Amino acid sequence: MAKDFLGLSDAGGDVVAAMINDAIDRKAARHGWPKARPDADAPLAGHVLAMIFEKNSTRTRVSFDMAMRQLGGSALILEAGSTQIGRGESIADTARVLSRMVDAIMIRTDDHAKIEELAHYAEVPVINGLTDLSHPCQIVADLLTVVERGFALPGLQLAWLGDGNNVANSLIEAAGLMKFTIRIGGPAGYEPDAGFVARARAAGGEVILTQDARQAVAGAQVVVTDTWVSMGQAGGDAHVAAMQPYQVNSALMAAADPAAMFLHCLPAHRNEEVTDEVMDGPQSAVWDEAENRLHAQKSVLLWALGKL
């Protein structure tokens, strides 16, 4: 049975904690090494990952490619538009064929139902590299960054500002698994997925929805935002106007815990959802967060391939 990583719950809280620990250890063990030199144990030697992209990506494609190299394996990139998927070959048949040739599949797509279908028909692990619904790999990297900065996950106070999007949904899932508090500050009509909220609360996370940005960040140790308009969303003037009160700027950061850190999965729209001052300021951990995509991806790959 292939171990798919369509959401954080596929792994569970204990495994996510183990992924973070493994990432910290592997990152430290290769500190200062040339970036493409394999880790000493090269645990995925001889393995290949296929990556399917139906949406743009910089971090996800580079981090998975480099993760495979550092684990001793290799990766190949399939731009969906230049494959037969782009001409209508079914997800199911694509899954069957790729399963005969590669050891794992990572896909970035729009409709979450597509990744579920791919996972259903694939005989190798399928990893979610972002769908319209969720972005779990990003959150493993985010949690790694939080832990690296000395914060404990259980009981953590985290604030999310702006659109209740795919990244927000996975962060809410993490709140349930790792038992922390997430306060979502955003406008009516742009709330996160109700199912993610309900499941996280049932799992023991505290999820608070508010339209008051200051209430969301009060006491927060981690302040997180993302683009106001995600890939594939229509956007428009009304959408962007509704987001304005949730911009993360110095005044809003001052309302959080004085030691709060700032996270953004990137790409950022500077001076829209976050000001330059915050992005480039002392509380920002966004470059560590971006680098940690690589270290987190390695743990996800190792788990999916039964080596963690």
Q: Which residues bind ligand CP (CB under 6 A)?
A: 57-60, 130, 138, 265-266
Q: Are 113 and 93 in contact (CB under 8 A)?
A: no
Q: Residue 220 to residues 151, 155, 156, 213, 254: CA-CA distances in angstroms?
A: 12, 11, 8, 11, 10
Q: Are 177 and 156 in contact (CB under 8 A)?
A: no
The C-alpha angle with vertex 288 and arms to 247 and 232, in degrees rounded to 5, equals 50
Q: Which two tokens stand for residue 166?
A: 């795919």
Helix (H, G, I), strand (E, B) or coil at 261: strand
Residue nearest to ligand NVA (CB): 230
Output the smallest distance, CB 249 to ligand NVA, in A.
20
Output the smallest distance, CB 239 to ligand NVA, in A.
13
Identified catalytic residue from 69, 112, 293, 295:
293
Alpha helix stretches (DSSP H) within 237-275: 237-243, 250-254
Does 136 count as an annotated binding residue? yes
Residue 138 appears among annotated catalytic residues: yes
Output the smallest distance, CB 7 to ligand NVA, in A.
15
Q: Which does 99 bind (CB under 5 to 8 A by kind): ligand NVA, ligand CP, none?
A: none
Q: Which does 227 bind (CB under 5 to 8 A by kind): ligand CP, ligand NVA, none?
A: ligand NVA
Q: Are 83 and 105 in contact (CB under 8 A)?
A: no
Identified catalytic residue from 61, 69, 108, 295:
108
With respect to ligand NVA, which residue has the nearer C-beta, 47 or 264?
Answer: 264
Q: Which does 58 bind (CB under 5 to 8 A by kind): ligand NVA, ligand CP, none?
A: ligand CP
Q: Phi and psi for 281 in degrees, rounded to 5?
A: -85, 175
Identified catalytic residue from 265, 283, 295, 297:
265
Residue 293 appears among annotated catalytic residues: yes
Residue 37 appears among annotated catalytic residues: no
Helix (H, G, I), strand (E, B) or coil at 246: helix
Half-sphere CA count of 197, side-chain side, radius 13 A: 12
Q: Are 200 and 175 in contact (CB under 8 A)?
A: yes
Q: Which does 166 bind (CB under 5 to 8 A by kind): ligand CP, ligand NVA, none?
A: ligand NVA
Does 60 count as an annotated binding residue? yes
Output the smallest distance, CB 58 to ligand CP, in A.
4
Output the smallest distance, CB 267 to ligand NVA, in A.
7
Element (H, E) at 117: helix 112-121
Identified catalytic residue from 26, 69, 135, 295:
135
Residue 149 appears among annotated catalytic residues: no
Q: Are 2 and 301 in contact (CB under 8 A)?
A: no
Q: Which stretches of the chain bind ligand NVA, using CB under 6 A?
A: 130, 165-167, 226-227, 230-231, 265
Residue 47 appears among annotated catalytic residues: no
- CB count in 10 Å sphere of residue 270: 13
Per the annotation, binding residues are: 57-60, 84, 108, 135-138, 166, 226, 230-231, 265-266, 293
List the catalytic residues: 108, 135, 138, 226, 265, 293
